[in-house]
Every structure is written in structure tokens, then in C-alpha cells.
Amino acid sequence: MKETRLGDFEETLLLIVGILHQEAYAFNIAKEFEAQLNRKVSIGATHSTLNRLSEKGFLTSKMGDPTSERGGRRKRIYEITGAGQRALKDSRDIKLSLWSQFPAFADLKFNVG
């Protein structure tokens, strides 16, 4: 059986793929991760996580057109699948439920669902 839960890094990369949409290729994903989280990430960790998310069925990929900026090489563009969207929603719902039960934040309203 495939693992259907997301680790923190997997969840973050999946969200970034959704943010970048048609520009979601490994180098750009790593760059966006660093910009959004102010943390370094290796391209190797990015590639292995994208591969793992693809194996779980949360991402698909296709080869983009060759570009002159890459010396005629093509980029692998990633896209979130329906299963990936469900995994993100489930992860968000679980976390929001937990946050809403944390006494220090009892007065805050969380939109679950």
C-alpha cells in the first residue's frame, strides 16, 4: 500500500508546486522554497522528494519545451494530481483541528473544512 500521508518537507514542496503552476520545475521549486521559508535546500533533496511525491501519486510531470536559457535542454514540469490535492487538504484539516484544540490558541478561530 502506498503511503498517503505527507511529511512536512513533502507538504511544503507540494504547496510550492501549486503556487508555481506552469513554472514548477526542480530548480525553480528549490529557489521558491528558499524565498518563502528563508531556508536553504539542496537540489538533490528537492529532486528526491519530487520523485517520492510522484511515486505516491501526488504529482505528475511532463517535459517542457527546450529553452535557450538552458542550452536547449528541457525542464521537467510538475503538476499536483487529485490525490495530491486531497492529501494537502487532509494535512491542512488535521493541523487546523489540532491547532484549534491547543489551549494557548483557544480564543482563535480556525476554518476547518
The 10s digit of each residue's pLDDT in 74-110 is 889 999 999 999 999 999 999 988 888 888 876 766 6
CA dist 68 to 15, 31, 72, Å?
Answer: 28, 20, 5
Angle CA(89)–CA(39)–CA(80) in degrees, nearest 5?
30
- Per the listing, cell 494557548 goes with 104
Measuring CA to CA, which residue among 63, 55, 56, 50 is closest to residue 17?
Answer: 50
Instruction: Indicate the pLDDT class of residue 111, thresholds 50, 70 and 90.
Output: low
Question: pTM score, two decimals?
Answer: 0.84
Quick one: which of 60, 52, 20, 22 has its CA closest to 36? 20
CATH 1.10.10.10 is right for the domain spanning 8-81: yes
Residues 6 or more apart whose Cβ sits within 8 Å of residue 69: none
